[in-house]
Amino acid sequence: MGQKLYFDNYTAAGDILVIAICFVIGILVATSYNTRTKTFKLFLNMIIYLGLAALSDMILHDYYAHMAGGSYTPIYVIRVIYHAMLFSLFLVYVVYLVVILNLDRRDVVPIMSVATGVYAIIILTDIILTVSGKGFRIGDDGTASYGPNVFMAGYIAFVSLIVFVILKYRDKLYRKSVLGLFGTMAVSFFILYNQGRHGQAAFTVATFLFPVLAIMYLLHSNPYNVETGTISASALKDAVRYHYEKKLEFYFMSMYLPDFHAEAKELPEEIKAEIRRFPSAHFRKSVLFEISNGHLLLMVPKKGNPRCEESIRKILEAFEVDYEKYRFDYKIVMGKSIDDISRRNEYLSLIRNIMRHMPVNTLHEITDEDVKAFDRSEDILVQLEDIYRKEDLNDERVLVYCQPVLNIKTGKYDTAEALMRLKLPELGMIFPDQFIPLAEDMGFIHVLTKIILHKTCDAVKDLLAEGYEVKRISVNATMSDLRDEAFAKELSDIIEESYIPNSKIAIEVTESQSDRDFNDLKEMIDKLKGIGIKFYLDDFGTGYSNMERIMNLPFDIIKFDRSLVIASQSDKRSEEIVGKLAGMFAELHYSVLYEGVEDEEDEKRCINMHASYLQGYKYSKPIPIEDLKNFFSKSAVSQ
């Protein structure tokens, strides 16, 4: 039975809205930062299919409204195109899911086979039924007859497949993302259902829009910080990947302000204004990334910026003016894109490796030597990760070196400081400044501390067994070690397994500015001193020293840094200041150890400045712990 064509209940409002939203999305894509990933390109395809579907739906209804008899073929063709656009959108949606889920080929093949099969069957069936007159057709009087509802069958089939894929692989998606996708689908069903109840057809395309908007918001939103014009660091790797794949060169400049990073302070408004202004004023298509608080990275494509280096110099000149005004510490690293680093997508790691060794308030331009040093650091990092993973306390790659310490009271070498070295395959001997910062940054340091403690305890056991006098050997520990509640028991167990007295091991720590670190340190010192472990305050006289905190921490030995030894030789006044400081500690029953003693003049001056112990190259450079036999004396009983 025929019925008046459903076009009579159609209004163009829904399709106009969809087309408008597609244009708005296009404007936002053109004016905001978006990395050209495969998923983003698929998303753009969805927007194109949406716009074409809405446009074809409007043309279809407009053609019918102005049709005055004759051939209905254009309506049939446009209607098939309209359905093809909507089901093409469904097909791309499935492809999108497969890509973001990163499925194995054995999972991808059946999903895509079903999706393309449904797509082909629906489109071909729609065409065949229309051509044969068994499907949708218009009579001579303008009424329409409907055969099987192919569109709804295809709609249900695709939605069922999408829901199945999301549910089956939901563990690969963030839970709230799944809820967001299902929530927008529910809204689409609600609108489609109510539209059908009221004989409407105006919002069919709009129901396809909502899940696409969910994808845009959940997976492709990377908004600018409106105060600085920066975007989050998560987009940097995509940006580098895009430039590398397109063989596009770029410049970059990284600025790190440690004061703002450490204290999570906001940048002054004047600095924010400069950050907003300079990139857009001097570069085309530049992007500013906020790596972390106080760390910014500017990426400038070489193409379209022929005077890039000159513009960077202007930025640096302006920065120098601001530095004179605000006096905040900084580190700046800059350079051109490096093909191998782009391929590996490791600019942040390269920059951090360089900054790790940079003094504050300096600028560094990346060289080939920096890349070689970084590659070496990466090789070291691979070994450190393996050491951490295996947690073998006898790992042969970790060596214990020691620097003997002269006991002024006895005139003997009966203490020493244990120092760590790595001996790695193909890399050879690695010194602490090359691997300790890496180990601390990556969280591997605690395992290294346990290994050095274990090997030191075993060496002390051997020295004692051979009759050598060993008062104690100190081992350096980091604040991360001391924050670990298990550290006290781990240390106690390691010493106990070596069958040596607890008093033969001491722990060296460096003072921290943090209140939390102070409390953790005090608690750990109290706990370990209870079992006979002595504590050294390392590097006294460098950086920040809070006398009140030092007095409230039960240290046994204060190690005066080499810088104080050097300062004391500059003039008599400086010597008196260092000497009185050491004398104050001595009166309070601390022992004072001077490190960095290099000659007889240093030795004599330090002894006059209340030294209890002396350490430095005058006596010995760091040696393998086994060679302490050449310095330590045997007890009278053993002889």
| Measured distance CA(254)–CA(233) in Å, rounded | 12
Res. 269 pLDDT band, cuts 50 70 90: confident
- Cβ distance 609 to 579 under 8 Å? yes
DSSP-based three-state secondary structure for 256: strand
Tens of pLDDT, residue by residue over 412-471, are 999 999 999 999 998 999 999 899 989 998 899 999 999 999 999 999 999 999 999 999
Tens of pLDDT, residue by residue over 3-36, are 444 455 678 888 899 999 999 988 888 877 666 7
Q: How many CA atoms lie within 13 A of 484 on its CB side?
A: 17
Res. 2 pLDDT band, cuts 50 70 90: very low
Identify the DSSP state of 6.
G
According to DSSP, the residues that pair with 412 across neighbouring strands are 407
Q: Give pLDDT, residue 320.
A: 79
Q: Give pLDDT, residue 4.
A: 43
Nearest to 328 by CA among 251, 289, 252, 270: 270
- Cβ distance 483 to 514 under 8 Å? no
| Measured distance CA(447)–CA(436) in Å, rounded | 12
Packing angle between helix 204-219 and helix 73-101, nearest 10 degrees?
20
CB atoms inside a 10 Å sphere around CB 482: 23
Beta strands in 544-599 (DSSP E): 557-560, 591-595
Least confident of 180-194, 535-549, 607-621: 535-549
Question: Considering the chain, what is the average pLDDT of its residues?
Answer: 86
Q: Give pLDDT, residue 231.
A: 83
Q: Burial, 633: exposed, middle or buried (Cβ in 10 Å; 0-12, 13-18, 19+)?
A: middle
